[in-house]
């Protein structure tokens, strides 16, 4: 009888030890999910760009809202890979954050391509209203579903403008014979084709060298990017195309997001929203100054179009119909146009 009792007590002791071990292990796992983290954030552009400003502001706000438990380190100039590569990395959870052009997110979530349709936005207010309203919410949901990444905020980088090293461009015919670099994005490629030239798709990380070596004559990015990437060293002329407002989302890996506790998730969401507002204010304050510095520092020549209506008509007529289906349908485009006070198509 004593022996039986001893065995029973032994079993209880073992079971108690297992429970304690399980509780300890569970506690360690829960602690790991809320441990302080120094996240990695990829930024395609360089120091002083709208992307860098957005990313840095988000990092500051995240640290502030989590009592410095969570920070983010920025890796500029595509150090962690091309913008499209970072979407893949974030999707599988090997990268935490990335700030990238919406046209480089579109291949993974086609409805984002709506933002790249030529002349879809007439001004900054329309672009801001779109991504900060119901359309932005829907694009966030679609991107989460399609790509496994969550849009936390938007960078306002400005309208893309054309720079080149050959001559002033003020009308469509001036593009003849030019080699223009574009991102690997079908909508943007077809936009240039509608203007009568075959552009050269080229990775962003290769663009400066290609311009420097005159492999390509020009490219288009916003004033803020031309300045931050020092394109003034290898380009002389700028033309204000006003054809595409560059919106650049800040994305987080959904795997990383879900690994955080509710308080940290909320801090990320709030930091993204506040950094978006900050980006909008920053662009409005700085873009004019940047344009002046491109002239005074690099001697760049700024030009406007004599026949912008012809550029817009060609692009909208030939490009938009090709992408109605991929961006969500013609009805979606009309709903957006109507919300912006524009005529439906």
Residues 330, 327: Cα–Cα separation, whole Å: 8
End-to-end CA distance of the chain: 91
pLDDT value for 36:
75
pLDDT value for 35:
66
Give the position of tokens 């989460």.
Answer: 144
Average pLDDT over residues 333-340: 94
Query: Token digits for 77?
Result: 């100039």
Q: To the nearest whole number, what is the mean pLDDT of the chain?
A: 91
Confidence of residue 333 (pLDDT cuts 50, 70, 90): very high
Query: pLDDT tens for residues 116-129?
Result: 999 999 999 999 99
Instruction: For residue 81, count CB atoms less than 10 angstroms from its CB and return exposed for 0-12, middle for 13-18, buried for 19 or more.
Output: middle
- In the chain the beta strands, taken as DSSP E runs, fall at 37-43, 70-75, 97-99, 149-159, 161-164, 180-182, 200-201, 218-221, 237-239, 245-253, 301-303
Average pLDDT over residues 209-218: 98
Query: pLDDT tens for residues 5-41?
Result: 343 344 434 344 443 443 344 344 443 444 678 999 9
């Amino acid at each position: 009888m004593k022996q039986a009792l001893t065995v029973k007590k032994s079993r209880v002791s073992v079971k108690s030890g297992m429970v304690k071990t399980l509780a300890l292990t569970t506690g360690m796992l829960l602690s790991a999910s809320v441990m302080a983290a120094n996240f990695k954030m990829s930024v395609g552009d360089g120091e002083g760009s709208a992307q860098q400003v957005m990313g840095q502001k988000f990092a500051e706000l995240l640290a502030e809202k989590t009592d410095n438990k969570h920070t983010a380190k920025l890796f500029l100039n595509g150090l962690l890979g091309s913008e499209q590569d970072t979407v893949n990395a974030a999707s599988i959870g090997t990268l935490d954050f990335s700030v990238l052009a919406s046209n480089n997110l579109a291949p993974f979530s086609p409805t984002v391509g709506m933002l790249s349709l030529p002349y879809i936005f007439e001004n900054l207010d329309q672009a801001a209203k779109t991504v900060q309203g119901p359309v932005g919410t829907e694009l966030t949901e679609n991107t989460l579903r399609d790509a496994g990444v969550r849009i936390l905020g938007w960078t306002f980088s400005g309208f893309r403008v054309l720079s080149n090293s050959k001559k002033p461009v003020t009308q469509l015919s001036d593009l003849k014979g030019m080699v223009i670099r574009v991102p690997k994005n079908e909508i943007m490629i077809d936009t240039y084709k509608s203007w009568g030239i075959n552009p050269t798709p080229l990775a962003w990380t290769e663009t400066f060298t290609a311009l420097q070596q005159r492999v390509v004559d020009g490219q288009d990015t916003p004033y803020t990017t031309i300045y931050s990437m020092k394109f003034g060293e290898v380009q002389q002329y700028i033309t204000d195309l006003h054809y595409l407002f560059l919106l650049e989302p800040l994305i987080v890996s959904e795997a990383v997001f879900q690994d955080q506790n509710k308080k940290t998730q909320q801090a990320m969401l709030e930091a993204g929203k506040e950094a978006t507002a900050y980006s909008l204010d920053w662009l409005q304050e700085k873009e004019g100054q940047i344009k002046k510095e491109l002239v005074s520092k690099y001697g760049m020549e700024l030009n406007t179009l004599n026949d912008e209506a012809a550029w817009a008509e060609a692009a909208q007529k030939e490009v938009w119909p090709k992408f109605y289906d991929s961006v969500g349908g013609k009805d979606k485009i009309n709903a957006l146009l109507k919300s912006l006070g524009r005529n439906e198509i």
